[in-house]
Amino acid sequence: MQQGLRKDKLQGCVPLLWPSVDSLSPTPLGHQEPRVVVNAPGFIVLMKPAGWETDVYDVSKLGVPISPVTRFYLLSSFLAASGTEEQFPISRSADSGFGFIHRLDQMSSGLILTATCFLYHAFLQFQMATYQIDR
């Protein structure tokens, strides 16, 4: 958790509430958009609709060709479009899995616990690893 705290201090990040998002834009394939169902300083819970990918890696570094439509349906793209990098640098950090604490299959829908700062990411990852959070 100290590492998360150090990263937050380096970035000038403090736990904030995520900005409310009405609608970013129409989805290319007609899938529903994700929405924030719990908004607390340091973390959010996203409702991930089917068709969206919980990406926790930098797809371009893997050499995976990715189309604009595919990139649209990455949850990290949703986070990047709805929060600023200055306020939520973890949402742009592939090294921290963009803040996602766990994943769901692309065709599944459900809740995704997401840290909005590095300290909460470390704390929630610790809780997940010690089975204090159930899926």
Q: Is residue 124 in a domain?
A: yes
In a domain, 40, yes or no: yes
Nearest to 116 by CA among 33, 54, 44: 44
Q: What is the pLDDT of residues 108-119, one digit of tens each?
A: 999 999 999 999
DSSP string, the chain: -HHHHHHHHHHT----PPPP-S--S--TT-PPPPEEEEEETTEEEEEEPTT-B---S-GGGGT----HHHHHTBHHHHHHHHS-TTT-GGGG-GGGGGGBSS---TT--EEEEEESSHHHHHHHHHHHHTT-S--
Task: State which residues form the domain around 100.
Answer: 2-129
CB 45 within 8 A of CB 102: no
Q: Percent of the chain scored above 70 by pLDDT?
A: 90
Euclidean distance between the first and final Cα of the chain, in Å?
22
Residue range 83-95: mean pLDDT, rounded: 90
Report whether pLDDT(94) > 80.
yes
Give how many domains the chain has, as a whole number.
Answer: 1
102 within domain boundaries: yes
Interval 10-58: pLDDT, tens: 877 778 778 776 655 567 777 888 999 999 999 999 999 988 998 877 7
Alpha-carbon distance values, 114 to 65, 104, 122, 125 (Å): 26, 12, 11, 10
**Within-domain flag for 135:** no
Give the per-residue pLDDT at 105. Answer: 86
Residue 134 falls within a domain, yes or no?
A: no
Q: Half-sphere exposure of residue 55, counting CA atoms within 13 Å on the CB side?
A: 26
The pTM is what?
Answer: 0.82
